[in-house]
């Protein structure tokens, strides 16, 4: 930076140096005017000025800079392309252009206007050399259409050759999007120059860092030990690269102290949307909202993305009205239109309005049916609306798309079990008394009211964790203690839980020790603890931003109806000891675990059996007084849920 003024003075005609000066300090009006003066004086590279104005959030000024182009200028053709593209991105109708760039812009216009389905139809059978291969591959990867991406990549390889650098880069990109670090690493290692990474192109550095993030999900992989240092060195090389910065933040999240990261992010204004995303993942939506609401001009598409991020943050704060207000009206352009539809549906589902969710999703599914998130939202909406056939159909489509991504069937997930169970129970004439799926739907659509009693929930906290206590785990322990100084706190591991069970429920000790999955052990123990001792039991990836003690007042138990399908969460439980609903749940879970060779924890020992018994208790006149049922938005006002702890990226998920 100190050398820049001297370089500008020594090279008064350098447009590149003037660009560097503007990017070094986007708020420096004199630097921007110096760039404008050099472009005007030389009658060339007006696109450079226009794109810089565009990046600064001045689209009108950007188009004005391209308003009168001189055909005699040496950059006239490139400047015309920039004018057409920025006109298109502004929502206008650009001039028609010939050649490869004109063809690309015509495809971009079609994609923004009609979506991915229309783009796929337009390029079907077209394999000419003018096809913008890398752009198309990127589009369909963003759309999560892996089948079409692979077909494009195969055709690209036939056109350019399998060893063409651009083809190899796209193969690496596809492998990374498919969560296949082994294939990506094999490709990266063939590129050579392994000993001089500081000379690599920025794209290769980004792919190397992203591959390392996937590899580090295995704590025994060498990448897990070198990831933090790698991210730091890459960011020192290219501090202004937004992609590398986002990857470096992911690396810090995976390896570092989350409190230290949050402190650094609080004063980081370089990229407010990226900062907001990171803070939200750390369980700090209020800080994320502050970051995303920093007033800064941005290009039109980025303004929409900022609006969507604000809506997401407010949703995670439990502020449904604020989320809907931030979301605003749907944008005209795809793919922003699809992203808007997704969040509109999520807000509607959080408010238990499945009809509104399906209405928001319908046009997006028509124009971009490979987007897996849209299918999952539609499946939940169908489930809550009582259209189980629709829900199962969307889950089937999701599994097909996920199989295209992974190359193998992902297997049955809890959502498949919930919806399938509800469908089976309905066809067999069973009710919610024996169906977790139907019980969940009943709780979601008709949450029980609360009648206060002289509740006596013990003022104590308990947690369960096996294995090394990572920095995020320690942070969670500190946060629960700090928010609840009047509650005693105890952390159990397998040995501590075994000792407790031996004293309080010795008949469960052997069953606990036979469980091979940490999640099943945790589920069994928490039920025994909450029944016999009582208090507040929370998982450590639940992060309290305010005390939960107000929920305990007048309550015999506090239960959370989850946002997804309406099941009762077991990551937060509060109860006085001896409640019949927990006695029934514990008896049923113990029986199931004793009879099941390979239990699926969520279904056999977790929320599924608890949901059935919670609904039964809410409908029993003797049991229901003092049962406080919180909706997910209520819970989210005080607790950030299910934080992305590093172990969840690997085989230790559901520790």
Residue 120 — left, alpha, or beta (φ > 0 → left; ψ -120 to 50 → alpha)? Answer: alpha
Confirm whether 278 is domain-assigned: no
Question: What integer pLDDT is reported at residue 273 of this predicted model?
Answer: 85
Render pLDDT for 324-375 as a digit per residue (tens, 0 to 9): 999 999 999 999 999 999 999 999 999 999 999 999 999 999 998 899 999 9
Question: What integer pLDDT is reported at residue 655 of this predicted model?
Answer: 40
Confirm whether 345 is domain-assigned: yes
Q: What CATH code is carried by the domain that includes residue 423?
A: 1.25.40.10
- Pick the last residue of a domain from 443, 470, 492: 443
Tokens 């490869």 belong to 100
pLDDT more than 90, % of the chain: 91
Same structural domain, 62 and 40:
yes
Q: pTM here?
A: 0.95
In 3-state terms, what secondary structure has residue 557? Answer: strand
Confirm whether 617 is domain-assigned: yes
Confirm whether 599 is domain-assigned: yes
In 3-state terms, what secondary structure has residue 11? Answer: coil
pLDDT more than 70, % of the chain: 98
Contacts of the segment 52-60: beta carbons below 8 A, 24+ positions apart: 52/19, 52/22, 52/23, 54/86, 54/89, 54/299, 55/26, 55/299, 56/26, 56/32, 56/297, 57/296, 57/297, 57/298, 57/299, 57/302, 57/303, 58/297, 59/86, 59/89, 59/90, 59/299, 59/300
- Beta strand 572-575 pairing with 535-538: antiparallel
In 3-state terms, what secondary structure has residue 412? Answer: coil
Render pLDDT for 575-623 as a digit per residue (tens, 0 to 9): 999 999 999 999 999 999 999 999 999 999 999 999 999 999 999 999 9
Same structural domain, 462 and 427:
no
Question: What integer pLDDT is reported at residue 26 of this predicted model?
Answer: 87
Confirm whether 573 is domain-assigned: yes
Same structural domain, 419 and 460:
no
Confirm whether 424 is domain-assigned: yes
- Pick the last residue of a domain from 97, 122, 139: 97
Render pLDDT for 439-452 as a digit per residue (tens, 0 to 9): 999 999 999 999 99
Structure tokens at 400: 């097909």
Q: What angle do CA 25, 30, 31 make, to 5 degrees?
A: 45
Same structural domain, 353 and 462:
no
Question: What integer pLDDT is reported at residue 650 of this predicted model?
Answer: 62
Tokens 């709780």 belong to 443
Same structural domain, 467 and 597:
yes
The predicted model gives 515-534 an average pLDDT of 97
Q: Is the pLDDT of residue 126 over 90?
A: no
Question: What integer pLDDT is reported at residue 517 of this predicted model?
Answer: 95
Same structural domain, 397 and 468:
no
Residue 161 — left, alpha, or beta (φ > 0 → left; ψ -120 to 50 → alpha)? Answer: left
Same structural domain, 457 and 561:
yes
- Residue 468: exposed, middle, or buried by beta-carbon count in 10 A (0-12, 13-18, 19+)? exposed
Confirm whether 609 is domain-assigned: yes
Residues 6+ apart with CB under 8 A from 220: none
Q: Band the pLDDT of 261: cuts 50, 70, 90.
A: very high
- Distance, CA of 115 to CA of 636 (rounded, Å): 34
Closest CA to 615 of 555, 568, 563: 568
Render pLDDT for 532-571 as a digit per residue (tens, 0 to 9): 999 999 999 999 999 999 999 999 999 999 999 999 999 9
Q: Is the pLDDT of residue 97 over 90?
A: yes
Q: Is the pLDDT of residue 652 over 60?
A: no
Q: Band the pLDDT of 240: cuts 50, 70, 90.
A: confident
- Pick the last residue of a domain from 82, 97, 112: 97
Q: Work out the mean pLDDT of the chain and round it to a whole number.
A: 95
Helix ranges (H only) for 537-643 are 549-552, 580-595, 601-604, 607-618, 632-636
The predicted model gives 480-503 an average pLDDT of 98
Same structural domain, 526 and 624:
yes
316, 279 contact by CB (below 8 A): no
Closest CA to 84 of 76, 73, 92, 72: 92
Render pLDDT for 265-303 as a digit per residue (tens, 0 to 9): 998 887 888 899 999 999 999 999 999 988 678 899 999
Same structural domain, 405 and 465:
no
**Range of the structural domain that residue 394 is part of:** 293-443
Question: What integer pLDDT is reported at residue 651 of this predicted model?
Answer: 58
Same structural domain, 302 and 335:
yes
Structurally, the chain folds into a number of domains equal to 3
Same structural domain, 377 and 458:
no
Render pLDDT for 163-204 as a digit per residue (tens, 0 to 9): 999 999 999 999 999 999 999 999 999 998 999 999 999 999
Same structural domain, 595 and 487:
yes
Q: Is the pLDDT of residue 654 over 80?
A: no
Confirm whether 4 is domain-assigned: yes
């Amino acid at each position: 930076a100190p050398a820049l003024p001297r370089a500008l003075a020594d090279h008064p005609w350098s447009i590149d140096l003037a660009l560097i000066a503007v990017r070094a300090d986007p708020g420096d009006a004199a630097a921007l005017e110096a760039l404008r003066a050099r472009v005007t004086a030389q009658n060339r590279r007006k696109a450079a000025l226009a794109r810089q104005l565009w990046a600064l959030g001045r689209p009108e000024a950007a188009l004005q800079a391209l308003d009168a182009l001189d055909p005699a200028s040496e950059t006239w053709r490139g400047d015309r392309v920039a004018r057409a593209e920025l006109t298109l991105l502004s929502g206008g109708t650009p001039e028609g252009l010939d050649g490869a760039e004109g063809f690309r812009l015509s495809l971009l216009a079609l994609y923004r206007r009609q979506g991915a389905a229309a783009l796929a139809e337009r390029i079907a059978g077209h394999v000419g050399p003018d096809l913008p291969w890398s752009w198309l591959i990127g589009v369909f990867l963003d759309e999560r259409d892996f089948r079409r991406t692979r077909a494009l990549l195969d055709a690209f390889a036939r056109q350019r050759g399998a060893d063409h650098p651009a083809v190899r880069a796209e193969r690496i990109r596809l492998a990374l999007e498919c969560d296949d670090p082994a294939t990506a690493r094999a490709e990266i290692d063939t590129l050579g120059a392994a000993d001089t990474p500081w000379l690599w192109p920025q794209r290769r550095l980004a792919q190397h860092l992203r591959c390392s993030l996937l590899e580090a999900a295995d704590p025994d992989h060498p990448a897990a030990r070198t990831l933090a240092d790698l991210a730091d060195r890459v960011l020192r090389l290219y501090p202004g690269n937004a992609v590398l910065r986002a990857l470096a933040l992911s690396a810090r999240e995976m390896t570092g102290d989350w409190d230290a990261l949050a402190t650094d992010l609080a004063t980081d204004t370089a990229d407010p949307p990226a900062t907001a995303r990171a803070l939200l993942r750390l369980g700090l939506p209020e800080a994320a909202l502050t970051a995303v609401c920093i007033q800064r001009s941005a290009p039109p598409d980025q303004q929409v993305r900022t609006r969507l991020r604000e809506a997401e943050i407010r949703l995670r704060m439990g502020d449904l009205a604020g989320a809907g207000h931030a979301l605003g009206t749907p944008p005209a352009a795809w793919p922003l239109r699809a992203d808007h539809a997704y969040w509109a549906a999520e807000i509607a589902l959080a408010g238990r309005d499945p009809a509104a969710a399906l209405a928001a999703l319908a046009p997006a599914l028509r124009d971009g049916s490979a987007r897996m998130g849209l299918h999952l939202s539609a499946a939940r909406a169908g489930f809550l609306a009582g259209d189980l056939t629709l829900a199962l159909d969307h889950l089937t489509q999701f599994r097909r798309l996920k199989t295209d991504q992974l190359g193998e069937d992902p297997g049955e997930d809890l959502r498949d079990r919930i919806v399938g169970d509800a469908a089976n129970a309905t066809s067999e004439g069973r009710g919610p008394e024996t169906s977790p799926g139907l019980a969940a739907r009943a709780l979601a659509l008709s949450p029980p009211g609360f009648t206060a009693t002289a509740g006596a929930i013990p003022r104590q906290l308990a947690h369960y964790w096996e294995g090394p206590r990572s920095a995020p785990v320690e942070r969670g322990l500190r946060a629960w203690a700090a928010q609840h100084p009047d509650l005693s706190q105890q952390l159990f591991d397998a040995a501590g839980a075994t000792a407790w069970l031996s004293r309080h429920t010795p008949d469960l000790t052997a069953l606990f020790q036979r469980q091979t999955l940490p999640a099943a052990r945790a589920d069994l123990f928490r039920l025994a603890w909450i029944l016999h001792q009582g208090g507040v039991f929370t998982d450590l990836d639940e992060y309290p931003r305010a005390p939960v003690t107000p929920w305990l007042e007048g309550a015999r138990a506090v239960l959370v109806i989850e946002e997804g399908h309406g099941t009762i969460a077991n990551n937060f439980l509060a109860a006085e000891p001896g409640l019949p609903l927990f006695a029934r749940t514990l008896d049923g879970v113990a029986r199931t675990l004793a009879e099941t060779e390979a239990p699926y924890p969520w279904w056999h020992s977790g929320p599924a059996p608890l949901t059935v018994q919670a609904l039964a208790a809410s409908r029993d006149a003797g049991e229901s007084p003092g049962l406080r049922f919180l909706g997910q938005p209520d819970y989210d006002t005080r607790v950030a849920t299910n934080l992305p702890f590093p172990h969840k990226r690997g085989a230790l998920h559901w520790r």
